[in-house]
Amino acid sequence: MIESSVPKILVVDDEPLNVELMEIYLSGDYEVIPAYGGAEGLEKVKAEDIDLILLDVMMPDVSGFDICKVLKEDPVYQFIPVVMVTALSGKEDKIRSIEAGADDFLSKPVDRLELETRVKSLIKIRQLHNSLISQRDQAQNYLDVAGVIVLVLDKDQNVTLVNRKGCEILGRGEDDIVGKNWFDSFLLPEKSDNSKKIFSSLIKGEVGEFEYSENSVVTADGEERLISWHNSILMDERGNVTGVLSSGEDITERTKTEAALKEYAKQLEHSNELKDLFIDIIRHDLMNPAGAVKGFTDLLLKRGKFEDGDLRMVQAIKRANGKLITMIESAATFAKIESVSRVKLKVMDLGDILNNVAQTLEPQLKKNGIKLNMSIECPYPALADPMVEQVFMNLLSNAIKYSPQDTCVSVELEDHGNEWKVNVMDQGFGILDEDKELVFERFKRLDKGNIKGTGLGLAIVRRIVDLHEGKVGVADNPKGNGSIFWVTLKKA
């Protein structure tokens, strides 16, 4: 159903006056479709795109209980909300309504306010349900097109789960894959030893180094397909490793394309052109399947019905996919701002922007045990584009990410004549003098222990500030360990 259209309500009652009264109550906000008997009501359901049914219980041809039961047993109509309207008020009749599958019931004479409230609530639920169904179908279509493999191996290297795309790429049925030793059955013998070593390390819990891997699988036709894998370990409720979950993408054709691009890149005068090409590949080839996986896993988690271990698998997929989306979004954001040569500046309050960013990052602060010291009260009007919010989002997020637990991140705003200067101070690892300029270059990322990044966050900051004709830099925190990242923007 298109949400902008008027919802259709079917009123089924053998008394014309009752139907007419319902039309008077509802016609202002809904399209009311009348039916003067049970059989006619069933025909109208099949002929019209009905969003809600008001169903009389006592009718001479077919009772409302029987109609409701028929509809709720039909997969095509079972999610249409049904409200039983009855002059009966006994407990048994309400129980019969529930047993027939009714979503709600009203007693005659119908109170107008109660009717409108119940209808509005159920219509909203119907619209949300239709939206979820649409998103689920779209996610499933994207997933099928994307060619994403989902594979689960137990500790003995045997396949316990493979999705439809995995079967399609291997050219085999599920029964021909599940239960087989993955490395002995679907990899070339001369190339399987390294993959077995990676698997052995994963089973020992050594995820960091082997989170991403690539290997070739052999199809039923003997063809080799190169798969890029993201690996996660599966654990039981006691924290014991039970297997490995791998999501894989067939990158055979892309690898060939990348090889051709690299060959062509040797003839390019500037290396940036090659990077831009790769950003396009990342954005177009990965965002759709990554978004599809996110939508599909969110839907699965909302349903909340899983067999033992399935919930952990879905959550592992969600976490891994979240990392992928962050990487893609950073690359896409940088590519977008790189193509911008000028921004249209308008008056914006830096205080409001900083407070909004702080509110957005509050869950990250709590999760990392970081205290934010920021007191922004009076307005700080600046000439800026809305994209400037990304500057402070990246600076604050980095400060939180690289600060130890139980430390403080501070934000200060200084008046420098024609400019505002914003300082973001952390108590983290600090940056060597020779590295201070490097941190703002794209694809440059300093070694910060176990913290992973794309090397684009601070490059995005510099590019946006450059478009605002401002300045950006980093200095040592004079109050102790850590750094001060600062930017300047013109006053309004």
* CATH number reported for the structural domain that contains residue 352 in this entry: 3.30.565.10
SS3 content of the chain, % helix, strand, coil (to 5): 45, 20, 30
Spatial CB neighbours of 470, under 8 Å, sequence gap ≥ 6: 419, 487, 488, 489, 490
Is residue 184 domain-resident? yes
Residue 200 belongs to a domain with what CATH number? 3.30.450.20
Return averaged pLDDT per consecutive 10 residues of the chain, 492 residues in all: 71 91 89 92 91 90 89 89 81 80 86 90 89 75 64 92 88 92 91 90 86 91 91 89 90 85 65 57 66 80 74 79 70 66 85 90 90 86 89 89 88 91 89 82 54 64 88 87 91 87
Q: Is residue 109 domain-shared with residue 175, that is, in the same domain?
A: no
Is residue 386 domain-resident? yes
Q: Say how far apart CA 204 and CA 193 lie, in whole Å.
A: 17
Domain boundary among 229, 250, 271: 250
- CA-CA-CA-CA dihedral for 282, 286, 288, 292, to nearest 10: -150
Q: Say how far apart CA 311 and CA 305 lie, in whole Å.
A: 8
Is residue 133 domain-resident? no
Structure tokens at 203: 């089973």
Strands (DSSP E) along 313-370, which ranges?
346-349
pLDDT tens-digit series, residues 434-453: 888 788 876 555 554 443 44
Domain of residue 297: give its range.
253-339
pTM summary value: 0.39
Per-residue pLDDT, 260: 81
Domain boundary among 227, 250, 273: 250
Is residue 134 domain-resident? no
Domain boundary among 297, 314, 339: 339
Per-residue pLDDT, 452: 43
Q: Which residues pair with 33 in a beta bridge?
A: 10
Q: Is residue 42 domain-shared with residue 107, that is, in the same domain?
A: yes
Q: Is residue 366 domain-shared with residue 300, that is, in the same domain?
A: no
The structure tokens 């119908």 sit at 110
If one counts the domains in the chain, the total is: 4
Is residue 371 domain-resident? yes
Q: Is residue 222 domain-shared with residue 234, that is, in the same domain?
A: yes
Q: Say how far apart CA 122 and CA 80 lie, in whole Å.
A: 9
Residue 52: burial class (beta carbons within 10 Å; 0-12, 13-18, 19+): buried
Q: Is residue 246 domain-shared with residue 264, that is, in the same domain?
A: no
Is residue 138 domain-resident? no
Q: Is residue 232 domain-shared with residue 258, that is, in the same domain?
A: no
Per-residue pLDDT, 270: 53
Per-residue pLDDT, 281: 63
Q: Is residue 240 domain-shared with residue 369, that is, in the same domain?
A: no
Per-residue pLDDT, 450: 41
Is residue 306 domain-resident? yes
- CA-CA-CA-CA dihedral for 308, 314, 315, 317, to nearest 10: 140
Q: Is residue 261 domain-shared with residue 236, that is, in the same domain?
A: no
Q: Is residue 480 domain-shared with residue 352, that is, in the same domain?
A: yes
Q: Is residue 271 domain-shared with residue 212, that is, in the same domain?
A: no
Per-residue pLDDT, 453: 46
Q: Is residue 308 domain-shared with residue 415, that is, in the same domain?
A: no
Kindly write down the DSSP assignment for every residue of 45-114, as one continuous string. HHHS--SEEEEES--SSS-HHHHHHHHHTSTTTTTS-EEEEES---HHHHHHHHHHT-SEEEESSPPHHH
Per-residue pLDDT, 147: 59
Is residue 76 domain-resident? yes
First to last CA, the chain: 47
Q: Is residue 298 domain-shared with residue 380, that is, in the same domain?
A: no
Residue 72 belongs to a domain with what CATH number? 3.40.50.2300
